[in-house]
A and B are shown apart, each in its own frame.
Chain A
Amino acid sequence: MDYEVTSDRLNGHSRGDIIKHADLGDLTTDLLFLVEAGHLSPLKPKKSVKTIDTEQKD
């Protein structure tokens, strides 16, 4: 899952960066604490765009 950096305090990252858990290495115990503290916000996966089949009428 990707996370958006939502504070200016996250080590080595800027507000608005999109990061993964691995980007923080071993420096954090649990990303949930960073989410609860307002430093990260989980990004919801985007839904794929549905295709619409259209049949041409004669």
Chain B
Amino acid sequence: MATSVYLSNPNVTINSVSLQDQCTSATVNYVYEQLETTAFGDTARKYGASTVTSLQNNSIEVELYQSYAGSETEATIFGLVGIQTTIIVAPASGVVGATNPFYTLVGAYLESHTPINASLGELSTITLTFSGGVLTKTTA
């Protein structure tokens, strides 16, 4: 039987601070840049090889409800712009395991933040993209 993922309670930790209850969306992009290794004699384009290691180009995008209260979203995020930090995203809030892997992006850079993103009659949200860094997957 096919299985699907229903994310209702993922763990989202930014700079050691859990923002799970402010988060509505999280996307982890695990990328190794594509290097072409096509050469004379090839009949089709090739990318990568066992001897070719390209750079990781990872990113994590999260959408959070904005809150200006103490220890909430704005207080936690504002100081992170322009520096590197660590983000952890897991499918569920439980302990790490094979069925709940933790994806940790170390050295991720937050280039920009939108302190005010408000429309009349709507909850204010912010979208953050953390770029770069080394992504590891932990299952134990």
Contact = CB atoms under 8 A, between A and B. Distances in A.
B76 interface: yes
A26 B106 CA distance: 8
Nearest to A6: B71
How many of chain B's residues touch chain A, expressed as a range? 10 to 19
B16 A34 contact: yes
Interface string A18-50: 000000101111100110111100000000000
A27 B12 CA distance: 12
Interface of B, secondary structure class, is mixed
B44 interface: no
A28 B79 contact: no
Interface of B: 13, 15-19, 70-71, 75-76, 79-80, 83-86, 88, 106
Interface of A: 6-11, 24, 26-30, 33-34, 36-39
